[in-house]
Structure 1
Amino acid sequence: MTTEAAPQGDGPPSLPAETRAAIEALEVELSLLWRRARASSHAVSRSVHPDLEPAAYGLLSVLLNQGDMRLTELARCIGVGKPSVSRQISFLEGVGLVRKEADPRDGRAQLIELTPRGLAKMRQVHDGRQQAFHSLLAHWDTKDLTTLAALISRLNADAGG
């Protein structure tokens, strides 16, 4: 195996050939995983509501996992502009999955929260996703699962997530 470094230039810093090859192989596998995740995200979104976009499902997931929050906090959580989130929240409110309530800490602000219907639907979908994930990974060694989770966490942290 060669360890010659990549030439210096405008690209990434000089890396050994083995490291470059490993990063390229990882990129291929992550790209495939992300494509599959996007396709799954569309299907899951539609299971909540037939007209629901994956971006709106992401907002519902944040509310399910983190609880009620202001629109600006919600936008910051998912890294999207406030106008995009506002449009999605209007849709979600219109189909009865979220509602706006006065923020008890500041009556001028509003908290976005799941409605009982939204909470029930999200729990149902979340439970189904968990069951599918458990089925997919049940044959994996616990140590491998722990290692994979730690490595993905590290990748997310390095990516700013």
Structure 2
Amino acid sequence: METAEGRDGGEFDQAIEVLEEQTSVLWRRERTTSHALAKNVHPEMEPAAYGILTLLQREGSLRATDIAASIGVGKPSVSRQLAGLERLGLVSRQLDPYDARSQRVLLTALGEQQLAAAQTGRRTAFTALMRSWAPEDVEKLGVLIARLNSTYTKDTW
């Protein structure tokens, strides 16, 4: 069997099997890391909320529906996470200047500070972990992971 690129199907299937196994290991480790990062931001923060904070950091203020769409979860789940983040003083809500019926969510000064501190710790850990790699390999890995992430625009299973 030939793939579109002309490679042998057996080799491709074997490569996919290795990729699936290794990404599973990576994602399990990332879940553990996300749990630790969330606790570094605030001891009572749920790990799933970390992604919301980083999204707000990158995008600025967003409506809850936009947050839900961006991270691929339902609005009730996002609303619950936002309520917890607001209770911890990490996010606040303000009226949407373009739609008075809607609110926008943004990081508070405390949220920005705590998130930046957790990210600095993560970056330090990554630097120590990858120190023995050649810079071009680290760059190549980043490019390949970005390419993999771009294929996840919609679930296929």
**TM-score, with structure 2 as normaliser:** 0.88
Coordinate RMSD, CA, aligned: 1.6
Correspondent of 2:33 among 40, 46, 53: 40
Counterpart in the other structure of 1:109: 102
Counterpart in the other structure of 2:86: 93
Paired residue secondary structure (2:44): coil
Task: Work out the CA distance in 1 between the residues paired with 2:108 and 2:37.
Answer: 19
The size of the alignment, in residue pairs, is: 149
Structure whose alpha-carbon radius of gyration is higher: 1
Counterpart in the other structure of 1:9: none
1:4-153 matches, cutoff 5 A: 5=1, 16-153=9-146
Task: Work out the CA distance in 2 between the residues paired with 1:97 and 1:58.
Answer: 13
Residues 90 and 110, structure 2, Cα contact 8 Å, conserved in 1:
yes
Which structure's relative contact order is higher, taking Cα pairs within 8 Å and 6+ residues apart? 2
Task: Work out the CA distance in 1 between the residues paired with 2:147 and 2:49.
Answer: 26
**Percent of aligned positions that are identical:** 45
Task: Work out the CA distance in 2 between the residues paired with 1:93 and 1:124.
Answer: 19
Task: Work out the CA distance in 1 between the residues paired with 2:19 and 2:133.
Answer: 20
Paired residue secondary structure (2:73): coil
Task: Work out the CA distance in 2 between the residues paired with 1:43 and 1:146.
Answer: 25
Task: Work out the CA distance in 2 between the residues paired with 1:89 and 1:61.
Answer: 13
**TM-score, with structure 1 as normaliser:** 0.86
Unaligned 5+ runs, structure 1: 7-14
